[in-house]
Each structure stands twice: as structure tokens, then as C-alpha cells.
Amino acid sequence: MTTGSHSEVQLENDWFRVTKWTIEPGGAIPMHRHDREYVVVPLVTDTMHVVTADGIEIVSELVAGQSYSRAAGSEHTVENRGDLKTIVFVEVERLS
């Protein structure tokens, strides 16, 4: 299945997993659940759409270098509905 997104684990140890995510225009990260707290570090300034498991849609305005965090238990898809720019961010999960 082609989703228009891909990930690269950059670091993983006993404490953290650092993953770089790339979402092509029109692409998405399929529905997934975060079992741990995490921090997102956007590498671009753009708009990303998040759809929760409950069907709630959140428009997320990313600003390059402006990090934000989310609690464990978040379940959602992440979409790049734009047709020109690639969305890129780094996700840091706290493992312990």
C-alpha cells in the first residue's frame, strides 16, 4: 500500500526513539496510536491535518523549529492535503 509517507528511525536507545517523518503532497501517515508521550519538531512551516480515531479533524499549523508535545494515548492519521510542499518533522518518543 502506498501512503505517500515514510519514516526513518534516526536514534533508538533505552530512553528515546527519534524518527524523521516525511509526508509527500497528498500523502498520509495511516491511523496509529502513540503509547508514549512524544514531542514533534517540525522542519518546515506548513499546514498538516490530523484526524483522530473519533473522526475529529484538527488543523495543525506547523512552524519550522517550533516544537510541541502530545500525551500518550493519541490515536490519529496525519495528512498532507497540500499539492506542492512536502511535510517533514522529527518525532521524539520517551520510552522510559
Cell match 503532497: residue?
Answer: 25
Residue 40 contacts residue 88 (beta carbons within 8 Å):
no
Model confidence over 19-31: pLDDT tens digits?
999 999 999 999 9
Query: Would the pLDDT of 2 be above 90?
Result: no
Model confidence over 43-58: pLDDT tens digits?
999 999 999 999 999 9
Question: pTM to 2 decimals?
Answer: 0.94
Closest Cα to residue 92, out of 4, 10, 3? 10
Domains of the chain: 5-91 (2.60.120.10)
Q: What's the whole-number average pLDDT of the chain? A: 96
**Average pLDDT over every residue of 2-10:** 93
Cβ-in-10-Å burial (0-12, 13-18, 19+) of 14 comes to: exposed
Query: Would the pLDDT of 1 be above 60?
Result: no
Separation between Cα atoms, residue 57 and residue 10, nearest integer Å: 29
pLDDT given at position 22: 98
Task: Return the percentage of the chain with pLDDT > 70, whole number.
Answer: 98
**Average pLDDT over every residue of 22-43:** 97
